[in-house]
């Protein structure tokens, strides 16, 4: 089957997966591609990896538009995703209302599962927050860093640590078996990121890619977006 190829931030993987059948019925094409840290995906496009469509943060897509790697007129917001806390399904949920609560929760964890702290949206934010609340050095040896949030959450689910916790995009938490969304980061530490889709300048299937963008952002898919962790 001919496919539309995507380079996407991991936050959108659950949404894309939920639209495969609808897209195939509409266009006759399948969906293939890569999901991972947004910085890595952007660099893959810059490096010439074939892609018809990209789903990245609003800020990154603005840069790619300046670099003439995507079609500006096709840029469409999909929805906002918060960076949140995760625990194994069998573990108690954490209540984190203040920076002090967050500091205590992270100090009490014997393993902290996060995505790439340099290339991923959530990982960069975790590193920033640890500095902000003054415990970056203290918990450094307990950080378990993985290439993307999906991998970090799968590893959290399989962890044999006594008190593990994770932090990544809510969509990646919701999509992972054995993991539960524990709660939002507290005021002053929160991050809500707009994810955006667009057709690439070198798209081999630009018409179908535009159809997928419309499907991702369409009003008919609002319930699906909310179910997988996107907000309007």
Tens of each residue's pLDDT in the chain, 232 residues = 899 999 999 999 999 999 999 999 999 999 999 999 999 999 999 999 999 999 999 999 999 999 999 999 999 999 999 999 999 999 999 889 999 999 999 999 999 999 999 999 999 999 999 999 999 999 999 999 999 999 999 999 999 999 999 999 999 999 999 999 999 999 999 999 999 999 999 999 999 999 999 999 999 999 999 999 998 6
CATH of the domain at 103: 3.40.190.10
Cβ pair 115, 198 in contact under 8 A? no
Query: Are residues 86 and 180 located together in one domain of the fold?
Result: yes
Q: What is the pTM of this model?
A: 0.89
Q: In sequence order, what are the beta bridge partners of 169?
A: 83
Query: Residues with Cβ < 8 Å from 161, sequence gap 6 or more?
Result: 109, 110, 111
Predicted pLDDT of residue 68:
97
Query: Are residues 174 and 88 located together in one domain of the fold?
Result: yes
Range of the domain at 152: 81-184
**What's the structural domain count of the chain?**
2
Predicted pLDDT of residue 232:
66
Query: Residues with Cβ < 8 Å from 9, sequence gap 6 or more?
Result: 35, 36, 37, 38, 41, 55, 56, 57, 120, 121, 169, 195
Query: Are residues 46 and 28 located together in one domain of the fold?
Result: yes
User: Exposed, middle or buried: residue 160 (CB in 10 Å: 0-12, 13-18, 19+)?
Assistant: exposed
Query: How far, in Å, CA of 55 to CA of 36, rounded?
Result: 11
Query: Are residues 86 and 104 located together in one domain of the fold?
Result: yes
Predicted pLDDT of residue 73:
96
What is the number of residues in the chain? 232
Predicted pLDDT of residue 1:
84
DSSP state of 231: B
Query: Are residues 71 and 102 located together in one domain of the fold?
Result: no
Query: Are residues 26 and 63 located together in one domain of the fold?
Result: yes
CA angle (112, 114, 118) in 5-degree steps: 130
Query: Are residues 95 and 151 located together in one domain of the fold?
Result: yes
């Amino acid at each position: 089957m001919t496919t539309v190829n995507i380079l996407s931030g991991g936050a959108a993987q659950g949404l894309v997966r939920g639209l495969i059948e609808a897209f195939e019925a509409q266009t006759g094409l399948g969906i293939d591609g890569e999901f991972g840290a947004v910085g890595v995906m952007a660099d893959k496009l810059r490096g010439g990896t074939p892609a018809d469509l990209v789903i990245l943060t609003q800020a990154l897509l603005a840069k790619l538009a300046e670099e003439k790697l995507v079609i500006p007129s096709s840029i469409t917001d999909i929805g906002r995703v918060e960076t949140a806390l995760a625990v194994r399904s069998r573990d108690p949920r954490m209540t984190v209302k203040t920076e002090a609560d967050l500091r205590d929760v992270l100090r009490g964890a014997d393993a902290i599962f996060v995505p790439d702290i340099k290339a991923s949206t959530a990982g960069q934010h975790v590193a920033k927050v640890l500095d902000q609340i003054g415990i970056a050095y203290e918990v450094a040896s307990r950080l378990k860093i993985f290439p993307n949030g999906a991998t970090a959450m799968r590893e959290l689910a399989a962890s044999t640590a006594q008190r593990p916790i994770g932090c990544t995009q809510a969509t990646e938490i919701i999509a992972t078996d054995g993991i539960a969304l524990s709660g939002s980061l507290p005021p002053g530490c929160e991050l809500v990121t707009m994810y955006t889709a667009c057709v690439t300048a070198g798209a081999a299937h630009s018409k179908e890619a535009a159809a997928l963008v419309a499907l991702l952002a369409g009003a008919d898919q609002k319930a699906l977006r909310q179910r997988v962790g996107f907000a309007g």
